[in-house]
């Protein structure tokens, strides 16, 4: 269910998810978190969150540790296995140091005890959102580059692979058994289709897809 802000249909806009079995805490957190200007959704359980989530969408999960059914740590492990990019900020009513260590070692942005300072929570959620945006932005950039690569012919891909190795046209021509003029034509097509301004630019693009 949505609470606080309305959800956004734009897959590039992050969402803050509040997952806690206590309804009063969910709504209190949503009221606070909407001050960040990001859509907020509330879920009474890990299972409810999983049923509502949109895989691959950036955002943050403000996650209770102990809940009926799936625990917060179990949800974190599941999201990690799924390769999700959501940043996780744990909230716990129990000062369990081993639990906090496990959560942080598994990639949580922070582990806070209830009740927590509002400013600290907002700061950590903002960190989680920034981390998620960064990861998703890199993934989107890599996908855009791959779409450009997919427009190349096989011969253009062959030429590109040798170009980024720093080989001059005459060497490429020899290795592919084609004329230097043909290499120049393919090379120009590669730079145009890949929207690369230089070989260094082209190399950076391809490194992002590796």
Note down the domain range covering 122.
15-137
Taking each helix axis from N to C terminus, what angle separates 154-163 and 180-194, rounded to the nearest 10 degrees? 90
Contact 95, 113 (CB under 8 A): yes
Of 108, 137, 166, the residue that ends a domain is 137
Nearest to 64 by CA among 79, 74, 54: 74
Q: Which of 107, 137, 167 marks a domain boundary? A: 137
In contact, 59 and 10? CB cutoff 8 Å: no
Does some domain include residue 5? no
**Which distant-in-sequence residues (6+ apart) come within 8 Å of 67 by Cβ?**
19, 20, 21, 45, 46
DSSP β-bridge partners for residue 88 = 61
Q: Is the peptide bond before 115 cis (omega within 30 degrees of 0)?
A: yes
12 pLDDT band, cuts 50/70/90, is low
15-56 residue pLDDT tens: 999 999 999 999 999 999 999 999 999 999 999 999 998 887
Q: What is the DSSP string of 90-137?
A: EEESS--HHHHHHHHHTT-SEEEESS--HHHHHHHHHHHHHHHHHHHH
Say if pTM beats, i.e. exceeds, 0.85: no
Q: Is residue 145 part of a domain?
A: no
Q: Render pLDDT for 98-150 as a digit per residue (tens, 0 to 9).
A: 788 888 888 889 998 888 889 999 999 999 998 888 887 787 788 889 999 99
- 163-204 tens-digit pLDDT: 999 999 999 999 999 999 999 999 999 999 999 999 999 999
Q: Tokens 């580059």 sit at which residue?
A: 145
Domain count, the chain: 2
Q: Are residues 63 and 95 located together in one domain of the fold?
A: yes
CATH number at residue 78: 3.40.50.2300
Higher pLDDT, 141 or 76: 76
Report the CATH number that the domain containing residue 173 is assigned in CATH: 1.10.10.10
Q: Is 161 in the same domain as 131?
A: no
Q: Are residues 130 and 160 in the same domain?
A: no
Examine the pLDDT at 8 and tell me if it is beyond 60: no
Domain match, 124 and 185 both = no
Buried b (16+ CB within 10 A) or exposed e, 199-209: eeebbebbeee
128 plus 159 within the same structural domain: no
One domain, residues 78 and 181: no
Same domain assignment for residues 169 and 120: no
- Kindly give the pairing relationship between strand 87-92 and strand 110-113: parallel
């Amino acid at each position: 269910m949505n609470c606080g802000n309305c959800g956004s249909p734009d897959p590039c806009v992050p969402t803050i998810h509040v997952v806690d079995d206590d309804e009063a805490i969910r709504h209190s957190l949503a009221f606070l978190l909407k001050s960040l200007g990001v859509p907020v959704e509330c879920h009474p359980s890990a299972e409810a969150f999983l049923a509502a989530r949109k895989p691959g969408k950036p955002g943050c999960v403000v996650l209770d540790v102990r809940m009926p059914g799936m625990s917060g740590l179990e949800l974190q492990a599941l999201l990690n296995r799924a390769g999700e990019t959501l940043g996780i900020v744990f909230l716990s009513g129990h000062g369990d140091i081993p639990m906090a260590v496990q959560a942080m070692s598994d990639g949580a942005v922070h582990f806070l005890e209830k009740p927590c300072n509002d400013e600290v929570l907002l700061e950590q959620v903002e960190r989680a959102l920034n981390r998620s945006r960064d990861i998703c932005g890199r993934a989107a950039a890599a996908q855009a580059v791959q779409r450009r690569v997919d427009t190349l012919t096989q011969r253009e891909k062959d030429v590109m692979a040798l170009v980024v190795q720093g080989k001059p046209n005459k060497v490429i021509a020899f290795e592919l058994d084609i004329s230097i003029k043909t290499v120049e034509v393919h090379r120009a097509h590669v730079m145009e289709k890949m929207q690369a301004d230089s070989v260094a630019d082209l190399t950076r693009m391809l490194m992002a897809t590796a």
